[in-house]
Amino acid sequence: MPEPRTPYLEDSLETIPCGHSCRALDFLQQIYHAAPIGMVVVDNKQEVIRLNRKFAELIRLDSEACIGMCIGKLLPTLASELSFLLTDVFSSKAPRSEQEFTFRLDDNLCTWSVTAYPVLRPESENTVVSLIIHDITQLRKTESELAGALNQIRALEEKLRRENQLLKVEITRESELSHMVGSSASLRATVNKIRQVAPTDATVLITGETGTGKELAAREIHHLSRRGEQPIIVVNCAALPANLIESELFGHEKGSFTGAIARKIGRFEIADGGTIFLDEIGEMPLELQSKLLRVLQESQIERIGSHKLIDIDVRVIAATNRMLHEEVKAGRFREDLYFRLNVFPIHLPALRERGNDIIEIANDYMLFCARKHGRSIKAITPASRQHLLEYSWPGNIRELRNLVERSVILCHTDTLELEIPYSQTRPHSDESDHSYRKLSSLAEVQKLHITQILERTAWRIRGEHGAAEILGLKPTTLESKMKKLGISRKSPICW
């Protein structure tokens, strides 16, 4: 009888004995090749002596072509890492578990978890190393996508938290600043402009004296636009410290400067999809104006401490009581930013230019204040109406509202008599009447009125019962008017 053929173990150079052990080894070999993980054995020359089908699939080569080849040639982009790992295991005779490698294989980015352990071959007393390979490419990709989604969720949570804080304030403001009141020709012209520009995304620059309702006009533009369902974020550039305004507008990353203990979402990012209203834009520091210009041109922001650009979709409405073209000439405002903001200018008329609108506004706000303070008031007395029309209103609508609310609080009947303070009434002395008669310009009237109030307040500008409060102006605005009108006092002003 011919001697039985000595079989070779598939995918190796080793021979195995025949007999019952062949059947058992064949069964084990089927398990070896059916394993869902790659397995390969290399000798001390780092040449492949055995591999399973999964490993051949991973490297996209035929099993027979791999036997006897150096593993570094089979995986050239991973050659140095595998060589270091195998050398370490051969020299230490100790296993190394779950070594993670990311590399390119046929232009695809792969991530493998490799476990290497030494195996002693009894017949030759040589050591070989067995590599167990898990392809975790999809796992790491999924983890990365989940981490990105989690970061996005956290950013949205932070944005919603900040948005909620701002909107709580806005709800209160909306109740008082709900609509524009009046029927004068000057107001109708302004409203017509608002309706023309609202459906567009054009940048709007609203100008006018302090207290003329620039914020209310901005809200009207927003509510009539396609962004009306999204928030309008209001930023008072004059109220923010110069060293914090950039962080407030664009946000910052944790640790970007002293005191930055957490990441902060800026107002522009919160307003994404909606409108941002930059009030008192003329007060913005020069160094920040260039950054704002870049945001307007590129529709991208960059948080302080980050180099990542964030795309935003925000409509910008700006407002100022300054003459920006004069500020440009004086070097206090960037000319390129002025042109970028002044795409669609809207000028709000002063209250004294709106005639009978003064009565309409007073009536409307009287009813609001009556509900607010629990009063039952139905009308304003005829004498008070006449006083309203005669007064010059240097503080415009803001001053009128303050006066109406104060009078409502003091009123205990159903007819409102406006309690105009002595400091706001027109002087009655012969000398004062003569001064008013001989005045020929609005500037002279304002100068005399402001000077008289300053005299009555001992030239105190700020604080309770100061001239700024009586006039319904901001202290900085009053100081600006004093400088413009040439009002000064030889002795020091009381602050």
- For 231, the token pair is 């928030």
Does residue 52 lie in a domain region? Answer: yes
**Least confident piece of the model among 26-35, 37-46, 342-351, 373-382:** 26-35
Q: Residue 406: is its pLDDT beyond 60? A: yes
- Residue 88 maps to which CATH number? 3.30.450.20
How does the average pLDDT of the chain come out, rounded?
82
Q: What is the mean pLDDT of residues 226-251?
A: 86
| Same domain, residue pair 199 and 336 | yes
Q: How far apart are CA 304 and CA 435, in angstroms?
A: 56
pLDDT(341) > 90: yes
- Say if residue 284 is in the same domain as residue 375: no
Query: Which one, of 68, 14, 61, 17, lies nearest residue 46 by Cα?
Result: 68
Q: Are residues 462 and 377 located together in one domain of the fold? A: no
Looking at the structure, tell me whether residues 483 and 403 fall in a common domain. no
Same domain? For 479 and 441 the reply is yes
**Residue 325 pLDDT > 70:** yes
Answer yes or no: is pLDDT of 381 > 80: yes
* pLDDT exceeds cutoff 90 at 469: no
Whether the pLDDT of residue 332 is over 80: the answer is: yes
Maximum average pLDDT range among 152-156, 169-173, 413-417, 468-472? 413-417
Check pLDDT > 90 for residue 221: yes
Full residue range of the structural domain in which residue 78 is found: 20-135
pLDDT computed for residue 493 by the predictor: 38
The confidence band for 348, taking pLDDT boundaries of 50, 70 and 90, is: very high
Structural domain total, the chain = 4
Indicate whether 262 pLDDT > 70. yes
pLDDT at 333 over 60: yes
**Token couple for 376:** 């039952």
Can you name the residues that pair with 130 across neighbouring β-strands?
41, 117
- Percentage of the chain modeled with pLDDT above 90: 31
Q: What pLDDT score was predicted for residue 276?
A: 94
Say yes or no: 355 and 341 in one domain: no
Please count the residues of the chain: 495
Contacts of 338 (CB under 8 A, 6+ apart): 324, 325, 327, 328
pLDDT value of residue 465: 66
On whether both 272 and 170 belong to a single domain, the answer is yes
Report the pLDDT averaged over residues 310-324: 93
- Predicted confidence band of residue 426 (pLDDT cuts 50, 70, 90): very low
Contacts of 353 (CB under 8 A, 6+ apart): 184, 186
Instruction: Dump pLDDT digits (tens) for 144-187.
Output: 889 888 888 887 777 777 767 666 555 555 545 557 888 888 88
195 is a domain residue: yes
CATH of the domain at 400: 1.10.8.60
Q: Mean of the pLDDT values across residues 366-374? A: 90
**Residues 82 and 41 placed together within one structural domain of the fold:** yes
**pTM of the prediction?**
0.56
- Taking 70 as the threshold, does the pLDDT of residue 124 lie above it? no
pLDDT > 70? residue 393: yes
| pLDDT for residue 214 | 93
